[in-house]
Structure 1
Amino acid sequence: MATIPWLADVLRAEGVQVVEEGDWRNRMRPGSFDPIGVLWHHTAATSSASNPHPALNVVINGRSDLAGPLAQCLVDYNGVFHVISAGRCNHAGQARASGPIPAGDGNTMLIGWEIDYNGVDQEMTPAQYNASLKATVAVLRRLGRDASYARGHRETSVTGKIDPSFIDLDVMRSDVARLLNPPPTGWSAIVDNATAGRFTASANWGTSTYSGQRYGSDYRFANPVAASDPAWYQFAVPETGTYRVEAWYPANSGYNNLAPYIIVTSTGNQTVHVDQRVNGGAWRSLGTFTLTAGDENKVGVSRWTSGTGYVIADAVRVTRV
């Protein structure tokens, strides 16, 4: 029977706080164990800051109706991983097919996290969720599997289990995938007014090649109005985080002195006004902002301004910082 004596080490290497519970490398159930994925559970016990792991003894030793250990790890209220077993555990039972996990013996195929919360009127704590993500990433990386091999018990159970409660498992897998495949350091992208599929503007925005300070072959211009008619720049932001947003525009004395740039941040739209009469023909920083992951409109140039002169929409650059 295979075992995973490396479990505590790979968790620590991922930044997870670990407590090794007794002789965990030799604590296991008889039978086959050849894991291909990770299964999330909740214990149904009520944890708290003063009682962070009420189900620990049960997960180690089992219940009257089910022999322990009941999972490879228990995740306490503070996100600490208590490593219980390096081998087969009674946590998954018979499994139905879910994603890439085939139907069969779940205890053979899956490594289990018992996350210590009751799942009825108590949700997983942020510390539990974040630690469980990191631990899942560590194990899937060691197994050579992608995020689709992370499942919830309610997805594989043939007996109607509901755990883990209060969590969107598709979002969980998306978060695992993001951590498994982080974007390159210093990720950056440029969207020009001519970038196909990433720039949109109404017919009210004209096209000009007048200024030699333009980015690319041309740029867009429009008269200011008291109405919402922005030109939008769409970016595929790889992960939620802090990004520097920069604008490129040609400067001219006839251009707008209060051109509004709209940045779609994680907490709502923020507007930065730029004097497009000066400092053109180069990247100008609009500031740093928290942007959410996703491929959508992230920056706009609005016509709604009290300034005078044409509003210009040329190019925008977004860079992870």
Structure 2
Amino acid sequence: MATPLSADKMIAALKAEGVAPVEREGWRTHNRNEAGPWGGVNGVLIHHTAGRDSLDLVWDGRSDLPGPLAHTHLAKNGTATMTGNGRANHAGRAARNAFDAVVAESSTHPAPSAASGTVDGNQHFYGIEIENLGDGDDPYPGAQYDKAVRWAAAICRAHGWTQHSVVGHKETSVEGKIDPSFSMNNFRAKVADRLSHDAGWDPVAPAADEGAEDGTGVLDG
């Protein structure tokens, strides 16, 4: 387990990786720490919003689930807005077998099994909500997908983790979650590629949708 990054260290890591985070007023103290512990941290959890214009929802939460619902919201154009610092209501119950694979940074990510027991995912995972309908048809534009990769790589780099500390909600949840609606193996490969270079590595930027993920997890371009 690792000590969670401070707000300043998170911002520095993201900027170094080329994310250019937007700091929404109040994000540094916006959390659910009163509901339970935050950290040690073990990994990075990827979500899709399953809706449009969801920044306020990620910040405020719902009547049955107070915000923040992630640490960062990622818009279609690649704008990463900081929405929480500390415990966030995003991971829920993580299957013990899936969690243990993340802790071990295993190259194999087993299907989550409730029979293995559960772990408080909100305590141990950073989370990002990527704006997408999650219906298998809504694409992830190149700029958005690139920033998601950079976001995950930045946190892994800061903690000295490999790409196998990055998992999708669908790979940990015992509640049948389906997000994100793209291939996590493809995504982890992109994170690994970034981690094999310095944080400032900036390959030739793709066109708007070139090299992006479509909604089915197949790389376009």
Which residue of structure 2 lines up, in the alignment, with residue 211 of structure 1? Answer: none
- Could you tell me how far 1:16 is from its partner in structure 2? 0.7
TM-score by length of 1: 0.52
Paired residues, number: 177
Contact 1:94 1:158 in 2 (8 A): yes
Which residue of structure 1 lines up, in the alignment, with residue 212 of structure 2? Answer: none
Which residue of structure 2 lines up, in the alignment, with residue 304 of structure 1? Answer: none
Which residue of structure 1 lines up, in the alignment, with residue 12 of structure 2? Answer: 9
Residue 141 of structure 2 is aligned to residue 141 of structure 1: no
**Higher radius of gyration, 1 or 2:** 1
Residue 145 of structure 2 is aligned to residue 129 of structure 1: yes
Q: Distance in 1 between matches of 2:63 and 2:149?
A: 31
Which residue of structure 1 lines up, in the alignment, with residue 45 of structure 2? Answer: 39
- Could you tell me how far 1:100 is from its partner in structure 2? 2.1
Q: Distance in 1 between matches of 2:150 and 2:121?
A: 22
Structure 2 unaligned blocks of 5 or more = 105-117, 205-221
Contact 2:70 2:129 in 1 (8 A): yes
- Could you tell me how far 1:42 is from its partner in structure 2? 0.3
Please give the per-residue CA displacement for 1:266-320, whole angstroms capped at 9, x wherever unaligned. Answer: xxxxxxxxxxxxxxxxxxxxxxxxxxxxxxxxxxxxxxxxxxxxxxxxxxxxxxx
- Could you tell me how far 1:147 is from its partner in structure 2? 0.6
Structure 1 counterpart of 2:184, one-letter code: L
Contact 2:156 2:163 in 1 (8 A): yes
Q: Which has the higher helix share?
A: 2
Structure 1 unaligned blocks of 5 or more = 47-53, 184-239, 242-321
The structure showing larger relative contact order (alpha-carbon pairs under 8 Å, at least 6 residues apart) is: 2
Contact 1:73 1:85 in 2 (8 A): yes
Contact 2:89 2:122 in 1 (8 A): yes
Residue 193 of structure 2 is aligned to residue 174 of structure 1: no
Structure 1 counterpart of 2:126, one-letter code: I
Contact 2:47 2:128 in 1 (8 A): yes
Q: What are the within-5 Å matches in structure 2 for residues 205-284 of structure 1?
A: none
Q: Which has the higher strand share?
A: 1
Please give the per-residue CA displacement for 1:100-155, whole angstroms capped at 9, x wherever unaligned. Answer: 24851111110001001111131222211100111111101111111100000000
Identity of aligned residues (%): 38
Which residue of structure 1 lines up, in the alignment, with residue 32 of structure 2? Answer: 29
Structure 2 counterpart of 1:155, one-letter code: E
